[in-house]
Amino acid sequence: MTTTPYHHGNLRTALVEAAVETVRERGPEGLALREVARRVGVSHNAAYRHFADRDALVDAVAERAMVELVGAVHRRLDTVDEADPVARARRRLVAIGAGYVEFALAEPGLFRLLFTAYPDAPDAEGAGEDPYGMLNVALDELVDVGYLSPKDRPGAEVTCWSVVHGFAVLNVEGPLRGLEPSDRAAALTSLLLSVDRGLGASGTWPELAPRGAPK
């Protein structure tokens, strides 16, 4: 464990940094204002001047976690370079799923905290800068290029999210957490290709396998 030094005027930032490290080490259950204040080297009363309660601190850490999750997805999306619009749309959907799982495996504590901070289902019409919104945009693109039938679009975001999130949870804290990296990558590839085939009318497309599957 390390303390987080701070300079006058940025105590809130230091507290958030310490909270992030606490979640990484101990999971969401280990996050407490007193512990975070101790790590930074201030009184808990000083911490309460910036965060009214633990829930406020959880929200701040969740915001940081969401930024990192979105970044992981964008890094995957940046690898998509297909010129064909159908191939590009399909690849983008796969990239979003791969990026989501990659973040979950790299940051299990922050991944779990996100669903502590945001227990309610997101807006199904959302298209914002979050993985669920990005998923909705990707599915709309599949409709636009003619791969996904408009009649099959309603509810597709829930299906895709459930499949990928379930895979992530099984590998982070479930019975698949002991898989060898190569086996996990193969399982993820199979899962994402199954989702792709289920959405479209065409046959198999092995080249759609995610590049650099998470370890």
Q: pLDDT tens for residues 80-96? A: 999 999 999 999 999 99
Q: pLDDT tens for residues 173-194? A: 999 999 999 999 999 999 999 9
User: What average pLDDT does range 189-209 have in this prediction?
Assistant: 74
Q: pLDDT tens for residues 127-173? A: 457 889 999 999 999 999 999 999 999 999 999 999 999 999 999 99
- What is residue 147's predicted lDDT score, i.e. its pLDDT? 95
pLDDT tier, 121 (very low <50, low <70, confident <90, very high otherwise): low
- What is residue 182's predicted lDDT score, i.e. its pLDDT? 94
Instruction: For each of the domains in the chain, give its residue range(s) and CATH number, in order of start.
Output: 11-52 (1.10.10.60), 62-208 (1.10.357.10)
- What is residue 127's predicted lDDT score, i.e. its pLDDT? 42
Q: pLDDT tens for residues 3-54? A: 555 554 689 999 999 999 999 999 999 998 888 999 999 988 888 788 888 8
- Distance CA(144)–CA(86), nearest Å, equals 9
